[in-house]
Structure 1
Amino acid sequence: MNKLEMTEIIITAKTQSGLSWEAIAAQVGLAPAFVTSACLGMNSLKAEPADKLCQVLGLPAEVSTALQAFPHKSWDKTIPTDPVIYRLYEVVGVYGDTIKALIHEKFGDGIMSAIDFSMHIDKEENPAGDRVKITMNGKFLPYKSW
């Protein structure tokens, strides 16, 4: 079973279960953003959480095996048309150089890791309209001279 087939099976089971990603992640014991990413094929799970996820959704062992397989982290190189994803591209397009400049000013020449990384998505209620709060936390990796 490949990652695409795995994702289709998981999404179908999730829909039928009526469970949210947060509820599934809580039962698996990992963060919702990470569990969702693994279910969408962009990360892998270790055996125990993969098995737990399959138990929660009533999925066969083949799905657990696919969840444990290392992903090929590739995506379509064109600008996405889904409004949520497009707006994140817009944020990087508008603020990417600013983020880079501020990281370099505070840390020096280097990057934020997407490997030693966590992300949380929260809802902030606001009378003027609810707010999306995305918190990304990545280890700073300085460039080395040699």
Structure 2
Amino acid sequence: MTISSTSPESLRIYVDPASSSLHISSLRDRLPVQAPTLFEAKAAKNLTFEDIAKQLGRNEVAVAAIFYGQAQTTSEDAEKLADILGVDKKKLGVQLAGYPFRGQVMDMPPKEPLIYRLYEIVQNYGYAYKAILNEKFGDGIMSAISFSTKVEKETDKDGNNWAVITLRGKWYVRFLERFSGRIDDCEFRLPFSRF
């Protein structure tokens, strides 16, 4: 049994099948050191990610990713963020220094229902996306680093709300396509390569 939520204070309760012992942890336990500082200040000021993003001059998804430890900030962003939230600049600067340790917050497959729906979209449409992207761009990948995303809300004529999530990633062609097609023209060699 697992109970979870996206709130940093929410508890995850689960039974370890191997030992039958009850474990209680929270999302907060898996968040980076800056998360409590950021979330507490955000709640105290009654701000949304959109409010913070407008003042910071960044995308609201990028701002939320900073809170969850999935994005890096510049020192200027850290100072601005401290001003917006009314927290100690030095403390937040130290907490935000370094590099993000991405992917550690979430279970795979995700257990949180909304996040699971996003995972399910990729499960259901992943190969269709891949086929269409390959037809349009050739062999390659869409970057998740040279990347931007946004979330918008649309309301149709019947008053139904629709979530619109845009993913925009730089297209990288398959490595060997940059060369003449002959493996001899490629300077890159894997240590186990026969070629």
| Aligned residue number for residue 137 of structure 2 | 107
Aligned residue in 1 for 2:10? none
**What one-letter code is carried by the residue in structure 2 that aligns with 1:93?**
Q
The alignment of Structure 1 onto Structure 2 pairs a total of residues equal to 145
For 2:113, which of 49, 68, 83 is the aligned residue?
A: 83
**SS of the residue 1:72 aligns to:** coil
1:123 matched to which residue of 2? Answer: 153
1:32 partnered with 2:63: no
**2:15 paired residue number:** none
Q: What is the root-mean-square deviation in Å for CA atoms of aligned residues?
A: 1.6
Q: Is the 8 A contact 1:29 1:49 kept in 2?
A: no
Q: Distance in 2 between matches of 1:64 and 1:142?
A: 37
Residue 141 (structure 1) aligns with: 172
Which residue identity is paired with 1:63?
L
Q: Which residue identity is paired with 1:38? A: I
**Preserved CA contact (<8 Å) 1:6 1:66:** yes
Q: Aligned residue for 2:26?
A: none
Give the alignment's TM-score, normalised by structure 2: 0.70
Cα displacement (A) at 1:62: 2.0
For 2:144 and 2:36, how far apart are their aligned partners in 1?
A: 25
Distance 1:40 1:11 in 2: 9
> How far did 1:128 drift?
5.1
Distance 1:10 1:32 in 2: 14
3-state SS of paired residue (1:41) = coil
Structure 2 gap segments, 5+ residues each:
1-30, 177-185, 187-195
Q: CA deviation at 1:111?
A: 0.5
Greater relative contact order, per chain length (Cα 8 Å cut-off, separation 6+): 1
- Report the secondary structure of 1:54's partner residue: helix
Q: Give 1:43's aligned residue.
A: 71
% same residue:
35
Alignment partners' CA distance in 2, 1:26 and 1:69: 24
Show structure 1 runs of 5+ residues with no match: none
Equivalent in 1, 4, 11 of residue 39 of structure 2: 11
Task: State the match for 2:93 in structure 1.
Answer: 64
- 1:64-99 per-position Cα deviation (integer Å, ceiling 9, x unaligned): 232242111123452112111000010000001111
CA distance in 2, matches of 1:86, 1:45: 27
The structure with more helix, counted as a fraction of residues: 1
